[in-house]
Structure 1
Amino acid sequence: MNYCKKGDAVLLDSLTEVKKELKKKMKKKSVCLPSLSEHDKKCIEHIKEKTRQLNQNNVTRTQAYFKFYLQYPEIHWALLGHMISRNVGWNMTDLKGELLTKLLSEKEQLAFFTFLERGSWLIFQDIYSQFLIYDLGVRRGKEMFHLLPFFHTSTFMETMWRYFWRSGDRYTLAIAMVINEQSYLEKRLIQNDRLQKNVTGTVGFKMYEFLRLNNILFPYYPGGKEQKASLVGATSRQFTSLHKRILFGKNLYSLLFQRGEILEGVLKWAHGSPHTGSRKDYWPDLFNDINESYPRALYKRRVKNCLLKKDANRLYSPPLKYAWPAASHDDRSEEDWFEDWSVMEYLKGEANFDGEILTSYCKTFETIELAVMAKEALLLREDGT
């Protein structure tokens, strides 16, 4: 580490100044770390330990995001991250649920879970330390972003946090976080050779996209009234494209924060629906966290237009704690992803997204059920020959 004297923070009041600062940082070969007081060192250890404690699994991460948003609603990404993290949890438990266990081998299930868990862990490890440094600054009445380099935070985000501290620009900070988290994952997850071989480059992953299992759902109570949850959301396309993922994140942000009735309804639903990882959390009339089906029985169509057929059992969707054990992780890479100031172009223009997802989501069930029945029929035919 290269240490230097702690100087005054750069004052950033406009995005033009942000761009100039980022261009200047790109030219530097190394990061100059400020010297630390004993209090700063204790703060760093506290932040590392608290982040470690809350980064145990998808449920602890998801709850931590929501709790932070309730404390600091100006940090919009905390709520967006909470809702996306819920979806990651549902995707994890789907792998041990009613349908995908009939389509994916145990090896494929584990590979997909490892991929989802690693990405979820990496993002939390990166973003939550930033949240705690912001919290520290608010409580002390002065910004503490000189601590960010000690957590290997991107120089891009260090610059954007300083801009937010002075401007209060909630939208720009949220989209900057979308850019940061997806860029952060690019080399560590998406371009990881081992994960490409075992997950993103497999036939199973292509099937995952074909079956439209990559839906992001935001359950909400229309009009803020507690009743059966309605759904808005979107389906991710070309997940391995960084550009597409950033645009997708912008769309999800616009859906959540640019329509007051959606934001109110999502918050109402999230308050009353603790995250377990089971899809029963939002649709208990269609999903159950107890398996009601007979083992080894051939699968029959149960769902039409997102409603159970008469006398059909609900689909099994287990809680995370029963689906997967706690996972261990290697330390993250310290490499800074920021290499090109032109990523700021993503900050321009707000997305306008209607979020209609129900028709597509309902068709997903029908497609998966047909795939399950086709596979079972093929296996029967093979056994009979």
Structure 2
Amino acid sequence: MAAEPSELRRVEDFRRVAERTLSGAAWGYYSNGDGDNQTLRDNCESFKRYRVLPRVLRDVSTIDTSVTVLGSTLDFPVAISPTAHHKMAHPDGEKATARAAASANTGMALSLFANHSLEEVAEAAPQGTRWFNFVLFKDPKRNRELLDRAAKAGYKAVFLTVDQPRFEYLKQITTSKGKDKTHMFYSTPNLVFPGTPPYGTEEYRSHLYSALKQPMTWDDVDWVKKNTSLPVVLKGILTAEDAQEAVRHGADAVLVSNHGGRQLDGVPATIDVLADIVRAVGGEAEVYLDGGVRTGTDVLKALALGARCVFIGRPALWGLACNGEKGLLQLLNVLKEELVYTMARTGCAKIADINPTLVVHENYYMSPRRNNSTIDGYQ
């Protein structure tokens, strides 16, 4: 059901419309987190604990939001996180996502668990900036085939998910509100190889569980680096120690991510660990963030704490649910307009002007020892 554009003014508006538009199964699959959803909630709530410090009397008559990510210039630093099963949000699935991202001149990371193949998505938006997100199979031939297909189809980098040591959810898939459209869960052409059982069968699910490499190790990162010429991004880094290890193993970038609170409840919100990871990397790799970004002000906060770009997962699906490609493009434009607004009021004419002095944690104002200077934005 297409929503009226006039009722979609903030990302929260898209969320509300998506909830009433999607099937119960789709909404449950997209929305649920692990455990008690503590991390899921904290991803958003933690952003609210950082305060923006306006800078006045700056020339912001022209504002440039462009940024370079892995050598590709994007119109603004908000890209699409890899998420599975976009057809549950809209019949055009990841093809609509790719077209919207290309129209906004931003990037999209395609999930291995997408409902369209690498090639189909590339054909849908040939001029777009696309990256491929995957996990490893036990069979190296399958991994090489996927890496080769991604490079041949014009994907600019590979995102290796590193925070899923086991795939227990494949053993028992449950939803919170029913079972309609659950067949979409199995429509994953990038996972099909000779001998793969048909979609939607117990045999397919069992085959997939046994075929995926569980767990992966740092040796697997080395293997990926040796078997592709594309930049390699490690998705799922939450500690400074792992960020430094990623650099030692040749990662070109790290995506600070807790999988949207879906993998392990109780881990930190991504915005809270970002500054530590940026310091640990020390400029030797690009640093991105996903999880909890809902406003243009959130984007600026993450950039001020050191992220080069932020990624959105659930909000992109909400945009698709509202009006397919057009809905997602509208949501991206909302975030861009909010970012421009916030940049103007913090005296930033370009992305490079955004720095740690613009953001402070709320604890600063609660501490009896605070002084009149700003801090680095992380406590």
TM norm. shorter chain > 0.5: no
TM-score by length of 1: 0.25
Higher relative contact order (CA 8 A, sep 6+): 2
Give 1 or 2: higher helix fraction: 1
Between Structure 1 and Structure 2, which shows a larger proportion of strand residues?
Answer: 2
Structure 2 length-normalised TM: 0.25
